[in-house]
Structure 1
Amino acid sequence: MLVVDDDEVIRQLITVNLTLEGFEAHTASDGQDCLDRIREVDPVLVTLDVMMPRLDGWETAARLRHDPETRHIKIVLITARAQDEDRRRGFDIGVDAYLTKPFDPAELIEIVHDLAKAGA
């Protein structure tokens, strides 16, 4: 798993929850950091914030989807952007799930388990 968020507290919250469930979690501080690390980490799933410096989550997700080497990676957007238009934009890009902040860690874990099974 690769946890991508510019907020260190959110990154740690997600990482701790994934680790407690037995997942190996790596972190990235923004979209560019994610793209720089993606091949090194080779994650099954990426959790991705939308509003980040350097490269936002929309563009990061689009680049992951358009690259033949990364298009198989499951993407969960975790964002404060809760409008229907934002959700549609995410699903149009091809994300697999969309969670709004504040989120329930149990819901995130359920989504991750479901997507990890689907990707296996």
Structure 2
Amino acid sequence: MVRVLAVDDDPTILRLLQVNLEMEGHEVLLADNGRVALDTIRAQQPEVVLLDVMMPEMDGFQVCEAVRADPELTATPIVFVSARAQQADLDRGFASGADAYITKPFDPVDLVETIERLAAGRR
């Protein structure tokens, strides 16, 4: 079981992520904006974070950069799950510190494999 924080401002996407990950036996925490995500990462220390790019208050790039700047959190694997699929978006995601970038619509099997691979690498 992997503790995953799913962050997206779209409740339908959050529910889709939650259902898919819970069906695979993972614990899922939810956040609907970047500021709540950062607070949840600090308080709950999830094993993997799934992060949307376009969100209110703090975008995904800002959250990723804040996690990477915090010595206690810097090793937390971050996967962007975003509809922003231009090469410039992927480049910015990796430059901000992401471990993976998956574009929407996503394949749930690929997403679960990515989460499990990153979590195993962290342990």
When the two structures are superposed, what TM-score results if normalisation uses the length of structure 2? 0.94
Match of 1:33 in 2: 36
* Residues 89-104 of structure 1 mapped to structure 2, 5 A cutoff: 89-104=92-107
* 1:90, distance to aligned residue in structure 2 (A): 0.8
* 1:108, distance to aligned residue in structure 2 (A): 0.4
SS in 2 for 1:76: strand
* Residues 63-78 of structure 1 mapped to structure 2, 5 A cutoff: 63-78=66-81
Q: What 5-or-longer segments of structure 2 have no aligned partner?
A: none
Report how many residues are paired: 120
Query: Identity across aligned pairs (percent)?
Result: 47
Match of 2:12 in 1: 9
| C-alpha RMSD of the superposition | 0.8
Runs of 4+ off more than 2 Å: none
When the two structures are superposed, what TM-score results if normalisation uses the length of structure 1? 0.96
Q: What 5-or-longer segments of structure 1 have no aligned partner?
A: none
